[in-house]
Amino acid sequence: MKKIFSNYKSTLILLAAIIVGAIVGIVFQEKAAILQPLGDIFINLLLVIIIPLIFLTITTSITKMKTPKRLSKIIITIIAVFVVTSIIAVLIGFASTYFVKLVNTEDGEIIKQSLETESGEEVSDSEEEMTIAERTVNLLTVNDFSKLLSKDNIIALLIFSIMCGVAVNMAGEKAKPVKELLESANIVVENIVKIIMYYAPIGLGCYFASFVGSFGASIAVGYLKTFVIYTVVAVAFYFIIYTFYAWIAGGKNGVKKFWQNVLPSTVTALATCSSAASIPVNIECSKKMGVSEDIAETTIPLGTSFHKDGSIIGSIFKIMFLVCLFGTSLATVGDVMGVLGIALLANLLVTAVPIGGGTISEMLIITMMGYPVAALPILTMVATIIDAPATMLNVTGDTVSSMIVARFVDGKNWLEK
């Protein structure tokens, strides 16, 4: 129990801070706004560190990549399985939230204007007239290096970071000093993030107190509703979708093998709230299901970095939370496809980042949806409350994916080998 509490300690503290903040906001109402400066400090600290965090974590993650010890057929199969299952996850996440208003508030316009004032940005439903090509260029690139240092050009910075990582890898041993410098700088930035997160309970608590005090208890109810709906979706996904995947992998015998051996990895995920910490147990569970050693030891680690069903569904919930809050229209197919694409992109591009990946993902969502950066703590709160069920799906999704990979690589009789 002590170990479980230790693993959950930071999440529990953040949840406690949010609950206390909600209570303070409900009790003191507008008077709770006096706490807003303390919340603003936390927001500003996050925004200051986001640029070096993105550059260094993405770049160093790429420089550490090595050629997998697998045949091309296995790697291609793994990628295909991850892409298909991620698309299924994002579709289910959207279907779960499209007809549900996560935030039952009539103060959406007031909240929108308040966040615009805090960030100095405007959220408009209609963009300036530009061609698709011009919008793409503006999204992916900037015309001056200094503009990469702005939080308004997150996508361009992300692409530049990827290019830098690839360039360092291409240089090989000649770039070893640069690689070591980047890794050292990354460690420093990771420590800065840890220092900032020590202040997170105070910052988030005060921010939430001011938020609830200004806009009413309905926003707090919105978080509770989000948690309940996400948990129901996660449990249904766990039992229904993963059973279906196991059946695809090995028929009735595959389903039997999956449910006989998946419990240890599920419990580990819930107990540690960490996909990485679940890797050893998850690999062992996959082997007991009949997955060959080489496939298990390749699929699980890669899945931990690049395949997270729970996080993808969580991204949809974050986006739809803001959509409800700001009253954004999703009337057209293009609007819906945009949400689905952003949710996938926000995860597939940053899930390999060891520290700060969640924050980078949330900044991508805010940037690509055109919301003010002051909305970042809102998404941080959503991420906090859904952390445990999301980790459960992230981990067990990799387990069943290894079974599907085995089915297509070793043939339909893979369980008999």
Whether the predicted pLDDT of 333 surpasses 70: yes
Q: Please give the distance of CA 252 from its chain centroid, rounded to a whole number.
A: 33
Whether the predicted pLDDT of 217 surpasses 60: yes
- Higher pLDDT residue, 117 or 397? 397
What is the phi/psi pair of residue 294, to 5°? -65, -40
**Least reliable range by pLDDT among 110-114, 309-313, 386-390:** 110-114
pLDDT tens digits, 27-83: 887 788 888 888 888 878 877 887 887 788 778 866 765 554 445 677 788 889 988
Note the helical H segments in 238-332: 242-261, 263-272, 279-288, 293-306, 309-326
CA angle 269, 358, 311 (to 5 degrees): 50
pLDDT of residue 70: 44
The token pair at 60 is 């160093």
Return the sign of the alpha-carbon dihedral for residues 102, 240, 303, 7. positive
Whether 75 contacts 68, CB under 8 Å: yes
Mean pLDDT of 334-354: 73
Q: How far apart are CA 388 and CA 384, in angstroms?
A: 9
At residue 91 the predicted structure's pLDDT band, cuts being 50, 70 and 90, is very high
Cα 166 to Cα 53, 57, 356, 366, 403, distances in angstroms: 18, 13, 21, 27, 31
Q: Which residues contact 383 (CB under 8 A, 6 or more apart)?
A: 314, 318, 358, 362
Whether the predicted pLDDT of 4 surpasses 70: no
**Least reliable range by pLDDT among 220-229, 348-357, 363-372:** 348-357
Q: How high is the mean pLDDT of the chain?
A: 79
Q: Which residues contact 338 (CB under 8 A, 6 or more apart)?
A: none
Name the DSSP class of 370.
T
* Residue-range definition of the domain harbouring residue 377: 2-416
Whether the predicted pLDDT of 296 surpasses 70: yes
Mean pLDDT of 195-213: 81
Q: How far apart are CA 299 and CA 294, in angstroms?
A: 9
Whether 217 contacts 53, CB under 8 Å: no
What is the phi/psi pair of residue 384, to 5°? -65, -45
Place of tokens 């949400």: 339
Place of tokens 């993030």: 193
Other Cβ atoms within 10 Å of 212 Cβ, number = 26
What is the phi/psi pair of residue 370, to 5°? 80, 25
Whether 218 contacts 107, CB under 8 Å: yes
Mean pLDDT of 80-87: 90
Cα 414 to Cα 146, 225, 403, distances in angstroms: 54, 43, 9
- Higher pLDDT residue, 366 or 309? 309
The token pair at 101 is 């208003």
At residue 354 the predicted structure's pLDDT band, cuts being 50, 70 and 90, is very low
In the 3-class helix/strand/coil scheme, how is 161-209 assigned residue by residue?
HHHHHHHHHHHHHHHHHHHHHHHHHHHHHHHHHHHHHHHHHHHHHHHHH
pLDDT of residue 400: 93
For residue 374, what is the domain's CATH number? 1.10.3860
Cα 322 to Cα 101, 119, 318, 345, distances in angstroms: 10, 16, 6, 17
DSSP secondary structure letters along 84-142: HHHHHHHHHHHHHHTTS-S---S-HHHHHHHHHHHHT----SS-----HHHHHHHHH--
pLDDT tens digits, 119-136: 555 544 444 455 556 656
Domain count, the chain: 1
**Least reliable range by pLDDT among 215-219, 269-273, 290-294, 362-366:** 215-219
Q: What torsion, rounded to 10 degrees, do the Cα atoms 328, 334, 336, 341 define? A: -110
Residue-level length of the chain: 417
Q: How far apart are CA 366 and CA 314, in angstroms?
A: 14
Which pTM was predicted?
Answer: 0.71
Q: How far apart are CA 221 and CA 385, in angstroms?
A: 13
Mean pLDDT of 144-170: 81
**Least reliable range by pLDDT among 110-124, 228-242, 399-413:** 110-124
